[in-house]
Structures are given as C-alpha cells and as structure tokens.
Amino acid sequence: MTAWAEHEYDVLIIGAGGAGLRAAIEASSTGARVGVVCKSLLGKAHTVMAEGGMAAAMANVDDRDGWTTHFADTMRGGQYLNNWRMAELHAKEAPDRVNELEAWGAVMDRTPDGRINQRNFGGHRYPRLAHVGDRTGLEMIRTLQDHGIHQGFEVHMEVTVTDLVKDGSRIAGAFAYEREHGRFVFFKARAIVLATGGLGRCYRITSNSWEGTGDGHSLAYHAGAQMRDMEFLQFHPTGMVWPPSVRGILVTEGVRGEGGILKDKDGRRFMFDDIPDAYAHQTADNEEEGWRYIRGDKEARRPPELLTRDHVARCINRQIKSNMGSPNGGVYLDIAWIKEHITDHTGHIKKKLPSMYHQFKELAGVDITEEPMEVGPTVHYAMGGILVDPETQMTTVDGLFAAGECAAGLHGANRLGGNSLSDLIVFGKRAGEYAAKYAVEHGDVHPDMAAVERARLEAEMPFDHPDGENAFSIQNDLQSLMQDNVGIVRTESEMQQAITGIDSLKQRMESCGTGGNRDYNPGWHTALDLKPLLTISEMIARSAESRKESRGAHHREDYPDKDEQEGRLITIIEKADDGGMSLTKQELPPIREDLVAIIEENQKK
Amino acid sequence: MSTVTLRIWRGTEDEGSFEEYSIERNPGMVVLDAVHKVQAEQAPDLACRWNCKAGKCGSCSAEINGMPKLMCMTRLDDLPEDKPIMVQPLKTFRTIKDLVTDVSWNYAVKKKIKPFKPRKPDAPDGTWRMKQVDVERVQEFRKCIECFLCQDVCHVLRDHEKYDEFIGPRFLIYTAGLEMNPLDTEDRISDLKKRDGIGYCNITKCCTVVCPEHIKITDNGIIPMKERVVDEFYDPLTRLFRIFKPSKKSKAEESS
Ligand SMILES: Cc1cc2nc3c(=O)[nH]c(=O)nc-3n(C[C@H](O)[C@H](O)[C@H](O)COP(=O)(O)OP(=O)(O)OC[C@H]3O[C@@H](n4cnc5c(N)ncnc54)[C@H](O)[C@@H]3O)c2cc1C
Ligand code: SF4
Ligand code: SF4
Ligand code: FES
C-alpha cells in the first residue's frame, strides 16, 4: 500500500466557502484543471452562516451611492490602515460580481421596481447590502455551488490539508487527509489558492464554526508567507449570551438595520451617549430622526446603533463592565419596540428577520417580536491575515494565492458589515484568474517529496501516544487563555501572559495523543487542529502587543488613543530562519492622489 | 446536578451497537451539545458532523428518539426526561461511522438536474427585473439547507430504496425552484416524469413534517410539479395551447 494517494492539478483551491468556490469557477473557466478541497461537505462552509447581506454600490435604493462612496466608507471604517488599492477594486467590482450571482440563479430580495434590494448596515452611508432576508450567505454559497458543479472542477469533500509543500521557493502541493478512513492524499499543484476562512475558534465565545481554526493562516505562515495586521480581530457586538449552549452565536446586524435598539438593564438607550467625532455629522442625535432613517428618509441621519462594530462592541462592553448589563452578562437588543410605529410589527419582523426569529424562539425560548434579546460581543472576523498583492492576490510565496477571510488588506483596522461577502466574490474571482494564469506561465513543478513524508509523520503523531493528553482539553485551555487575555480591551501584561501561556500549551501539544482508529476520528482531528490554533493565537497576541495605540478593533487600555505614527504602520509577521516568529513594522504606501481627493470629499459630506 | 443519559449508535453500517453515556446537563442544552460533551469527556473518537450550531448549515442531521431532526436545534428540554435519549444516524443513507452517514448520493443526483438557464437580461446593463411577489415562492425553496432529513423520511427511499429511479423531495423542490424561477428558460418537466420518478411520490407529506426550514415541500413544490407533468403529458389541449403561447411557464404561474 502506498502511503498516500496522489492527485495533480493546475490550480488547487483549499476551501469551498464563497471565496474558494468563486475562485474555482474562475480558474475552471480558463480551461485549467482545478481541484477543490474542503473540510466539510460541499455547501456547509462558514459562508452559509452569513446573514445580513453583501455590500455593493449598485445604487438601486439610493441613487446617490457609487463606488467612490463605498470606497471612502471602507477606508474610514478601516481607519485608513486598509490597502487602498484593494478597497478601490472592491468598491468598483462588487456590483458586477453581485449581478453575476443573479445570472447564476441567485434570487435576491427586490425593490418595488424589480431590482435587487439593498439594506442599511453599520458604517455604510447608503443602503448598500444586497440580501435575501437574513440568509444571504446561504444564497451565495448555494448559487456558487449549484453553478460550480457544472464547471468541471473536482471537489474533495471532508479532506483536511495539514501542510503545504514547495519546490524551492515556489509552491508545489498540499498534503492532506480524508475523514472517512483517515487516508492520506497528496495534491501536486502548479498554483494554490488558500480560501480557508476565519480563525475564531481560538476563543471561547465566537460566532465561528469548528472549521474556523485559522488553517490557511497557519499553512501560509509555515510555508514562509508574510502575514499582516493580525492584531485586528473583530468582536461582533451582538452574539447570543443565553442559554450557555448558544453563547457566541451571531445575532445579525440586520436586526439593528431594521430598527433594533440597544438598551441597558434599566431600559435606557445608551448608544446616544458616545458618538465618535468622525461620525458625529452622520449620526442622528435623537430617536425620532433615527427612526426616520430606518424608514428610508433620505434627509435623516443614521441611529447610533449603526455605528461601526468596533465602537458598538466597546460601548456594550462598557455597559456590561459597569454592571448596567442584563442578568446573563449582556445588554438588551430590542426590535419589538417598533410596534410603536408599525401596525403589523409581528409580520414585519418575521418577514425581515426570519432566521433570527426562529433562532431565538427555538434556542432561547424568546419571542423577539414581543421581548428584547440578550446580546454581547462575540469573536467574529479576522481583518488580519495573509498579505497579498492587491491585483492578483498572490502571497509573498510564489504561486501561493489567498482570498476571502484568510487574506488581509481590504478591511484595515475594522471591517464593515457586508464587506466580507463582497470581498469573497471580488477577490475570489481575481485569485482564481491569476492562479490559473500563473499555472500556465510557470509550468510544471517538482515537489519536495521528503517534505511530504515529513508531513505524513507529523499527521500520524497523535497515534504515537494513545494515552497522551486529550486534545479537547488543550483546545479548551487555549480558548480560555485567549478569551481572558487578548479580548476587546487589551493591556501589555495580559498579552504577555497569553504569549507565555501559548508556549506552555505548545509543550502540551507535543505529548497530546488520540485513541481509536483513523476512521472519522474527531479526537485525531482536534489534535491536528492544535498546531494552526496555537500558531494563529501567537500571531494575534504578538501583533496586539506590538501595536501601542488604539485603533479600530484593537483597543489598548494602556494606550487608549490613536497614534499618528503607529497609524501609518502595518504589523508584519513571518517565520524566522530559526523557526521563531519574527515581527516587523512596514510603512503603508501613500494613497493615490485621486483617491485622497475622494476620501476628503466624503469626509465633508 | 441533573444528568442526562444518551444512547448513541457506535459503529458502522454493518456492525455496532448503542452505547450509553451519562453527562451533566446544562441549561438550554441541545442534543448536539450533549454529543459534544460525550466526545470531549468520554469518547473522543465519537463521529458526528456539525458546522453552524444554529440550524443554518444542515450538517448535524440524525434520528433523535426515532425522529429525523437537526441535533443543534433539538433542546433536551423538549424531550422526555424519564428515559435515555436515543441518537442514531439517518437510516436512508449508509452509516460511515457513528452518526455520520454517506450522503454523496444526493450530490450525484443534483448534478444530473439541468442547471439554471436565464432569459436574456431585461435591462441594457445586463440586469433583470422581477417583482418580489413573483420570487417569493422560489425563495421558499431556496431556504433549503440540504440537511436531507426529508430524503431520510421519505418511504420511497427509506423503505423502497428507489435510489436509481427517484430523486427524493429535496430535489423535487430544487427542480421546482428552478422551474418557478421567473428568469429560467430550461424545461425539466419531462425529466421529472421519466427520469426523476415524481410519480413515486404519493403525497404522504412526511417530508414537509420534518423539514426544519418549514418549507411546504409537498403543497408548494411537489404538487404543482405533478400538475405540470400532467399538463404536459396527458392533456393534448394544453399542449396545443402551448404552441401558441411561447412561454412554458405562463400557464402554471397564472393558475396558481
Ligand atoms: C454568523 C456569521 C454571519 C456573517 N454575516 C455576514 C454578512 O452578513 N455579511 C458579510 O459580508 N459577512 C458576514 N460574515 C462573515 C463572512 O461570512 C465570512 O467572513 C466569509 O463567509 C468567509 O468566507 P471564506 O470563503 O473566506 O471562507 P469560509 O466560508 O469560512 O470557508 C472556508 C473553507 O475552507 C475550508 N478549509 C479550511 N481549512 C481547511 C483545511 N485545512 N483543509 C481543507 N479545507 C479547509 C473549509 O472547509 C471551508 O470550505 C458572517 C460570519 C458569520 C460567522
Ligand atoms: S410527500 Fe412524496 S416526497 Fe414527501 S415523503 Fe411523501 S412520498 Fe416522499
Ligand atoms: S427541503 Fe427541508 S428537509 Fe429537505 S433538505 Fe431542504 S431543509 Fe432539509
Ligand atoms: S450544525 Fe448547522 S444545522 Fe446543525
């Protein structure tokens, strides 16, 4: 028996979320031989959970919108740490990508005149999110899946990549194992696209699924790629808090987009208390104006609940910390109050937020049309990730590309809601296109087969100590460590504790083991997850420690203000020659002049 | 501290047994939490699928006390407390291990169904115009999370094993969703009758009962498709009429 099966592709795509599938469709359209691998079944990737919508300045609802405003909103939301070229491409190309989904069978909600409808979301100046109720991600992934299965690429489901293999400085393949029987597979590939999504599972309270273990981040890092901005981790302001079993599950921002308000334990609407200067001129200063905005009054300004996520999460955190929160450690999110304004409020809520209605009814026993929800911050999205070229999405390793949540640059210090789904299709397409081009231009590869053999031995290691420590307990300890020490509000000493803690968990990982056999064995899988989880946790903690200012999603108690100098630098992490983690700072390139003018123009509005 | 006992299938299609596990019970716990607790504390190699833990991905399907359900949306509070909770894999598909079944047949079936084929765009910018009321029915079917619980419960597959002749309720409404899409120009009616076995469905509605998305699979999807099949194959008048009415959709759309 050979130690592993082999497959060969021009382009291998790791991940079948929105980014991976869009890349696969594009690469296949060039005639390239394309393979896709994913850890779950097709159609189950994290993208399926996205709720609120995808941002694209189609101007279907408000004709004042356009790519320049979307660009400016994205840059301001990201506190100008974004890669400006990515923000530009994203704003310009998102409308075409969304319309293309319709051509492939997506059925989005309509405006009265029959176009794709768009809704309000935090940080977006105009209603901009194309959506289907609150199940937009499902619509996206199903559309790409159902279109994709007829495009000729091969899908390997329930296959997990554990290592990348190179040919000199160029990427050459990926080593993986399949769940069903634990057999090994080696994929030889001329180009690889990482589209592995997020990393929230290194925290205890997260909206991410079991897949969100930062595999792509870790694979790229260990293959020598540079990472950027790992300190910027988005805490979504509204996760469920009760009962304990659902803690962290997302409550879509769409609730606030439809008029939901945040209240403390006394029923006071606290978001009017603290409105950042940069947004003051765009934010309503009274409840009546806020409501008019929700109802589409173009003269009205947005309610403060729709400020950016980093800000809303911190305001909620403050209420909870000062004992003004709800009984189970959250605050109240109330959509039922709209009955003061809408006659059939029950029907309206069920139509606009059907899955939220069911989620609370079935999991928490709460009827959101009558009662407020209890919500609190939850780890949601990684703005940081693999450094990529804005045009091609190639990483700093030749032939290795990255797109979607595992890639970084578009969102800067804070992502606006809805900008991820559009990111997936805009840059997924680009990654697929340029990876296929690279494969053609660079020809055959000769993978380092000794490295493949090393990858096999590493993957088998947990079986060497069947009585070793259970991987689940190490994972739990890591989650608590990160939750307690690298949270919404950060301090030097806590982060150093985290770094020390991670070191000792690495020791425990060495001796961790698994019993049972190789057939569909979650204990084994969890043991293999530890390496990426520890790698990304260390990246987050080290980057966070290095940024001595507060900006966007990164808030330092010991450096509570923005620092102009720090604000021009991005944090780069890469693997040093000695195997340690090297951290450097890189100056952001100056923004192109016409784009500076666009930003300034929009700041005045 | 109250405990809860689960009896979980351990093994493959061919061999295995129900094993009993007792765990501590937390407030609001769902069956998936209980299974995870068993996994983390007592049986690390216990296999199950899950992703979202919020009823959105359709991964965690199983038979709980004999009923096909999503483990993540079934609260322990809603199950009888005085006896162990039985958790077993979907019967209709081959068990790979424990609670994980081989659902690849479903992916193969979908691939055979003719894909979406839109009419020419309505506007010069390449976009279409559709009324919300005209897309609502299609949107109902598109809520499907592909949990395959309906496939599991349908007797044509479960008891009669017509895997080669019948595509099952999931793919009948998938086809219905394509057929009722106002933009689509493809014709799948003949396939529905000849290849997909729509005639095997005798409208027992078991599929509708188990659907976690509350899709009215039978009433809104299968029955209208059966009507179209009847129209097309057994009604010469309708067919003649169609020759003068170019759009294959218009009749059924207007009459429903
Ligand atoms: C509850 C929720 C709601 C959200 N709502 C919105 C919203 O309304 N709007 C918005 O814009 N964004 C939203 N987001 C964010 C957005 O959904 C995600 O950022 C996005 O879906 C990520 O897509 P992706 O394609 O990058 O990766 P994913 O969809 O996460 O897919 C990752 C893929 O990579 C595979 N993979 C990972 N590691 C490996 C490995 N080692 N080997 C093989 N395969 C691997 C996985 O199996 C999976 O197929 C939401 C997120 C959550 C959690
Ligand atoms: S209604 Fe038809 S498809 Fe549904 S379960 Fe009954 S026989 Fe099967
Ligand atoms: S129709 Fe309902 S039961 Fe059937 S697969 Fe879809 S969601 Fe599941
Ligand atoms: S885990 Fe997604 S439906 Fe249960």
Residue of A nearest to B49 (CA): A40
Do A422 and A467 lie in a common domain? Answer: no
The pTM of this model reads 0.94
Q: Read off the pLDDT of residues A575-605 as tens digits, 9 standing for 90 and up.
A: 999 999 999 999 999 999 999 999 999 988 7
* Within-domain flag for A555: yes
Query: Is the pLDDT assigned to residue B235 strictly greater than 70?
Result: no
Q: A455 is written with which tokens?
A: 């990858």
Cβ atoms of A559 and A550 within 8 Å: the answer is yes
Q: If you search the block for the tokens 């004992």, which residue do you land on? A: A323
* Within-domain flag for A89: no
- Tell me the mean pLDDT in the region B146-162: 98
Do A414 and A286 lie in a common domain? Answer: no
Domain boundary at A448, A472, A503, which? A448
| Nearest ligand 1 atom to alpha carbon A421 | 11
Residue B237 is predicted with a pLDDT of 60
H/E stretch holding A196 reads: none
- Tell me the mean pLDDT in the region A127-153: 96
Of B51, B115, B138, the CB nearest to A107: B138
Number of folded domains that form chain A: 3
Is the distance from the beta carbon of residue B205 to the nearest atom of ligand 2 less than 6 Å?
yes
Residue B243 is predicted with a pLDDT of 56
Q: Read off the pLDDT of residues A252-299 as tens digits, 9 standing for 90 and up.
A: 888 998 999 999 999 999 999 999 988 899 999 999 999 999 998 989
Bridge partners, residue A269, by sequence: A263
Residue A605 is predicted with a pLDDT of 73
Of B59, B96, B127, the CB nearest to A180: B96
Residue B250 is predicted with a pLDDT of 43
Residue A254 is predicted with a pLDDT of 86
Report the SS3 class of residue B152: helix
Residue B5 is predicted with a pLDDT of 97
CB-based burial label for B182 (10 Å; 0-12, 13-18, 19+): middle
Q: Read off the pLDDT of residues B177-209 as tens digits, 9 standing for 90 and up.
A: 999 999 999 999 999 999 999 999 999 999 999
Residue A425 is predicted with a pLDDT of 98
Q: If you search the block for the tokens 């061919």, which residue do you land on? A: B14
Residue A308 is predicted with a pLDDT of 86
Query: Is the pLDDT assigned to residue A39 strictly greater than 90?
Result: yes
Residue of A nearest to B185 (CA): A105
Do A443 and A366 lie in a common domain? Answer: no
Distance CA A21, CA A323 (A): 45
φ and ψ of A4, to 5 deg:
-155, 155
CATH code where residue A408 lies:
3.50.50.60
Active site (catalytic) residues of A:
236, 256
Give the range of the structural domain holding residue A416, as residue numbers without chain letter.
5-50+133-235+380-448
Residue A603 is predicted with a pLDDT of 87
* Within-domain flag for A22: yes
The answer to whether B40 contacts chain A (CB < 8 Å) is yes
Cis peptide before A462 (omega within 30 of 0): no
Number of H-type helices and E-type strands within chain B: 11, 7
Do A254 and A394 lie in a common domain? Answer: no
Partners of residue B46 in chain A, C-beta under 8 Å: 522
Do A258 and A303 lie in a common domain? Answer: yes
Contact B103 A41 (CB under 8 A): yes
DSSP string, A251-290: --THHHHTT-EEE-TTS-BGGGG---HHHHTTB-SSHHHH
* Within-domain flag for A284: yes
Do A295 and A354 lie in a common domain? Answer: yes
Cβ atoms of A87 and A411 within 8 Å: the answer is no
Residue B251 is predicted with a pLDDT of 39
Do A365 and A390 lie in a common domain? Answer: no
Cβ atoms of A84 and A75 within 8 Å: the answer is yes
Query: Is the pLDDT assigned to residue A114 strictly greater than 70?
Result: yes
Mutational pocket test of ligand 3: of B60, B139, B145, B210, the residue with most ligand atoms within 8 Å of the beta carbon: B145
SS (H, E, C) A396-429: CCECEEECHHHEECCCCCCCCCCHHHHHHHHHHH
Instruction: Give the rounded percent of residues in chain A with a pLDDT score beyond 90.
Output: 91
Q: Read off the pLDDT of residues A22-37 as tens digits, 9 standing for 90 and up.
A: 999 999 999 999 999 9
Do A217 and A242 lie in a common domain? Answer: no
Distance CA A436, CA B18 (A): 49
Q: Read off the pLDDT of residues A81-112 as tens digits, 9 standing for 90 and up.
A: 999 999 999 999 999 999 999 999 999 999 99
Instruction: Give the rounded percent of residues in chain A with a pLDDT score beyond 70.
Output: 100
Distance CA A147, CA A25 (A): 8
Q: Read off the pLDDT of residues A142-163 as tens digits, 9 standing for 90 and up.
A: 999 999 999 999 999 999 999 9
Cα atoms in the Cβ-side hemisphere of radius 13 Å centred on A80: 20
Do A187 and A244 lie in a common domain? Answer: no
Q: Quick count: other Cβ atoms within 10 Å of Cβ A166?
A: 19
Distance CA A12, CA A27 (A): 10
Query: Is the pLDDT assigned to residue B247 strictly greater than 70?
Result: no
Nearest to A40 by CA among B246, B100, B63, B8: B100
Q: Read off the pLDDT of residues A430-459 as tens digits, 9 standing for 90 and up.
A: 999 999 999 999 999 999 999 999 999 999
* Within-domain flag for A86: no
Task: Give whole-number Cα distances, A130 to A148, A405, B5, B28, in Å.
Answer: 21, 19, 45, 34
Structural domains of chain B in order of their starting residue, each with its CATH number: 3-101 (3.10.20.30), 104-240 (1.10.1060.10)
Distance CA A528, CA A533 (A): 9
Do A154 and A247 lie in a common domain? Answer: no
Query: Is the pLDDT assigned to residue B139 strictly greater than 60?
Result: yes
A245 vs A69, residue with greater confidence: A69
Cβ atoms of A150 and A515 within 8 Å: the answer is no
Distance CA A392, CA B120 (A): 31
Cβ-Cβ contacts under 8 Å for B246 (sequence gap 6 or more): none
Query: Is the pLDDT assigned to residue B246 strictly greater than 60?
Result: no
- Tell me the mean pLDDT in the region A303-321: 92
Residue B255 is predicted with a pLDDT of 38
Bridge partners, residue A176, by sequence: A161, A185
Q: How far apart are the first and last CA of chain A?
A: 68
Residue A309 is predicted with a pLDDT of 86
What are the E-state strand segments in B145-245?
A: none
Nearest to A55 by CA among A98, A101, A113: A98
Q: How far apart are the first and last CA of chain B?
A: 56
B255 vs B105, residue with greater confidence: B105
Query: Is the pLDDT assigned to residue B110 strictly greater than 90?
Result: yes
Cβ-Cβ contacts under 8 Å for A519 (sequence gap 6 or more): A180, A181, A182, B47, B96, B97
Nearest to A126 by CA among A72, A65, A202: A65
Do A263 and A342 lie in a common domain? Answer: yes
Do A150 and A21 lie in a common domain? Answer: yes
* Within-domain flag for A78: no
